[in-house]
Amino acid sequence: MNYKLKIQYDGTNYSGWQIQNNAVTVQQIITDAIKTITKYNINLIGSGRTDTGVHALGQVANYIFEEKLDIYRFKHSLNCILPDDISVILMEEISEEFNARFDAKKRSYIYLFSKIKTPFINKYSYFLNDKFDIDYLNKISKSFLGKNNFTSFARKKTETKNKICNIYDIHWREFRDKIFFYIEADRFLHGMVRTIIGTLINAHKNKWNHEQVNKIFENEDRSFAGEAVPAKGLFLYKVKY
- What is the set of active-site residues? 51
Beta bridge partners of 97: none
Positive or negative, the Cα torsion across 159, 161, 162, 164?
positive
Burial bucket for residue 201 (CB in 10 Å: 0-12, 13-18, 19+): buried
Distance between CA atoms of residues 241 and 229, nearest Å: 28
Please report, for residues 9, 35, 74, 187, the alpha-carbon distance to residue 59 in angstroms, rounded to integers and kept in the order given: 8, 20, 19, 14
Contact 198, 228 (CB under 8 A): yes
* Pairing status of strand 126-127 against strand 106-114: parallel
Contact 93, 3 (CB under 8 A): yes
Beta bridge partners of 165: 148
Distance between CA atoms of residues 210 and 144, nearest Å: 10
3-state secondary structure of 106: strand
